[in-house]
Structures are given as C-alpha cells and as structure tokens.
C-alpha cells in the first residue's frame, strides 16, 4: 500500500514538474487502463449541481486525465485511490 501511495505521489510530482497532462475521452482512458498490467488510477467526484467523475493515470511516462458523467468500469487488478480533488493546472 505504501509503495502504491509513493507511486501516486511520484506521478503527481511528475505532473507538477513537467506540466504535461493529456486530456482524453472516457472510453480512451478505459482502453489505456485496460492495457496496463497493474494500473494505478486516481479518481475524484466533481461538480456541484451536475456531478461527474475525473480520472488520472500514468502510462509510458505520460499522465492521462478524463472526465465521465458516470463511474468508469475499471479492471479488478487496478489499484484505485479516491481523491478529494484532481486539479488541472492552468
């Protein structure tokens, strides 16, 4: 568990340092997650009047983010962290 938390922190730090964040649609996000052996996904529910989900994962050195009106089905092998917020700089 501590190793996964360290990995999540490393992904977040890499995003802050590089500023590279690739925004994709929810179906493409699900495809990227399904290609990983041990995916790490951070998710947060957003919105005040209209709720939606925001997802973040790293893949091949890039960070991918997607929004979805409904929770995405994630593979059972995925390690999922629920965050209070996923903030996009800019």
Q: What is the pLDDT of residues 27-68, one digit of tens each?
A: 999 999 999 999 999 999 998 899 999 999 999 989 999 999
16 pLDDT higher than 90: no
| Full-model pTM | 0.78
CB 39 within 8 A of CB 88: no
What domains does the chain contain, in order, with CATH numbers? 2-82 (3.30.720.90)
What's the pLDDT at 58?
94
Q: Are 35 and 75 in contact (CB under 8 A)?
A: no
């Amino acid at each position: 568990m501590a190793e996964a938390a360290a990995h999540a922190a490393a992904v977040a730090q890499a995003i802050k340092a590089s500023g590279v964040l690739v925004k994709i649609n929810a179906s493409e996000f699900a495809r990227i997650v399904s290609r990983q052996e041990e995916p790490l996904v951070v998710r947060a529910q957003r919105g005040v009047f209209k709720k939606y989900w925001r997802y973040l994962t790293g893949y091949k050195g890039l960070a991918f983010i997607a929004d979805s009106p409904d929770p995405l089905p994630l593979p059972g092998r995925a390690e999922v962290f629920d965050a209070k917020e996923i903030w996009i700089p800019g």
